[in-house]
């Protein structure tokens, strides 16, 4: 057997070299492919996180706009109520003056007819 290997070492080497090379490079490329898949997964995860953050930011912005809109609407309602309150106070004052005048006239009338 040793004789056979000594005689055919070139042929044996020619046959074994591609197999050994293929095994070594296959492992190397599998490792690179795994690393690339991991990078893709991390990138994909980052994209999902980024999209979720953008969605949450839009939700927060929308909520802020709604609150600002509600505050403006309430401020407007308060101003309208203040104006109405002032108008009603003026009406009450006028009615009070009219009532006082009617009470004086009634008192005069009663004094004349007593």
| pLDDT profile of the chain (114 residues), mean per 10 | 66 76 75 78 76 88 93 95 96 96 92 81
CA pair distance 75, 83, nearest whole angstrom:
12
pLDDT at residue 5, as a whole number:
65
CA distances from 113 to 24, 106, 110 (A): 131, 11, 5
Q: What pLDDT was estimated at residue 1? A: 53
What pLDDT was estimated at residue 40? Answer: 74
CA 71 to chain centre: 20
User: Which DSSP category does 113 fall into?
Assistant: T
Q: How far from 56 is each of 42, 43, 62, 68, 74, CA to CA, in Å?
A: 21, 20, 10, 18, 27
> Which tokens in the block code for residue 7?
């005689």
- Model pLDDT, residue 24: 72
Tokens of 17: 């070299």
Helix locations, 1-114, DSSP H: 2-7, 9-112
Cβ-defined contacts of 47-55 (< 8 Å, 24+):
none
Statement: the pTM of the whole predicted model exceeds 0.85: no
């Amino acid at each position: 057997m040793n004789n056979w290997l000594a005689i055919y070492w070139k042929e044996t080497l020619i046959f074994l070299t591609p197999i050994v090379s293929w095994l070594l490079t296959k492992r190397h490329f599998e490792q690179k492919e795994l690393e690339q898949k991991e990078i893709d997964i991390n990138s994909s995860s980052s994209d999902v996180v980024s999209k979720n953050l953008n969605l949450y930011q839009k939700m927060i912005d929308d909520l802020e706009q709604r609150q600002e809109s509600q505050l403006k609407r309430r401020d407007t309602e308060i101003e309208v109520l203040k104006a109405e309150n002032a108008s009603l106070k003026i009406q009450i004052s006028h009615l009070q003056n009219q009532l006082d005048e009617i009470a004086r006239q009634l008192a005069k009338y009663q004094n004349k007819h007593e």
